[in-house]
Structure 1
Amino acid sequence: MTIPESPEKAAMPDTKINVRKVFGIDSDLQAPAYTTASEHVPDLDEDYLFDRETTLAILAGFSHNRRVMIQGYHGTGKSTHIEQVAARLNWPCVRINLDSHISRIDLVGKDAIILKDGKQV
């Protein structure tokens, strides 16, 4: 996978999918998607059953470049739901568990200046 030099050069979704056809949900919504999958697109589970309201909230967020917070008890399928939506849209997805063990270093790395050959890297 190629990392773009700037956010402006990042690949944007290049197609739209019919939510009724792809997710089996009664909706006329067209969701943004990618025509090809990258290495960060989750594996597709053909047998996954989508919760209508949660799926539409996630897709509305994707469609309008808004963040959607999914909350619920441990083991209720929050992460799997997001992954299966992403799998059907060929949308890259990286999972980060936000629990009591995560720290700033886990998310953004160490804040140290490193010099190599007299230059900051």
Structure 2
Amino acid sequence: MTQTLEQETAPLPDIKISVSQVFGIEADLEVPAYAKPNDHVPDLDDSYVFDRQTTLAILAGFAHNRRVMVQGYHGTGKSTHIEQVAARLNWPCVRVNLDSHISRIDLVGKDAIVVRDGKQVTEFREGILPWALQTNTALVFDEYDAGRPDV
């Protein structure tokens, strides 16, 4: 995974939405959301049908800044479920496939040699984890069981 991640500021959610109105789930809950999407908000699938229990668990994660693990058989829509919740919250969300090609450096960052003012200097280039923390972006670690042990 070689990509340059832009530095962005991390605005906080600026609205609250009704779970019953947005997700069609009978619950007297409001969760934080963003009024406007950015480039990292997943595309909305209007025909997506939400599982109540899974949706409430994911929403609790967004509402209380907690990690949520969704498990199930391969290809059953676990990652899509998270992305569709994020889409309705206008919450930035990036899927990271933890296959054998991703390394700890991709996630955390690395030292890089750059030329600045005609001189070579070493600077730290952040990986996707620090970027996600700074930009308030939800990360979906897909197929975590296929990841390398050092990651």
TM range, normalised to the smaller chain? Answer: 0.7 to 0.9
Q: How many residues align?
A: 115
**1:94 counterpart = 2:83:** no
Query: Cα distance, 1:70 vs. partner?
Result: 1.1
TM-score (norm 1): 0.85
Show the counterpart of 1:114: 113
Q: Partners in 2 of 1:83 and 1:45 — Cα distance?
A: 10
Q: Partners in 2 of 1:41 and 1:115 — Cα distance?
A: 32
Query: Cα distance, 1:74 vs. partner?
Result: 1.0
TM-score (norm 2): 0.70
Greater fraction of residues in strand: 2
Q: Partners in 2 of 1:2 and 1:115 — Cα distance?
A: 17
List per-residue Cα deviations over 1:44-76 (Å, max 9, x = no partner).
000000000000001011111111111122101
Unpaired stretches in structure 1, ≥5 consecutive residues: 5-9
**1:39 counterpart = 2:39:** yes
Q: Superposed, which structure 2 residues align to 1:23-102 within 5 Å?
A: 23-102=23-102
Unpaired stretches in structure 2, ≥5 consecutive residues: 1-5, 124-151
What SS does the corresponding residue of 2:17 show, helix, strand or coil?
A: strand
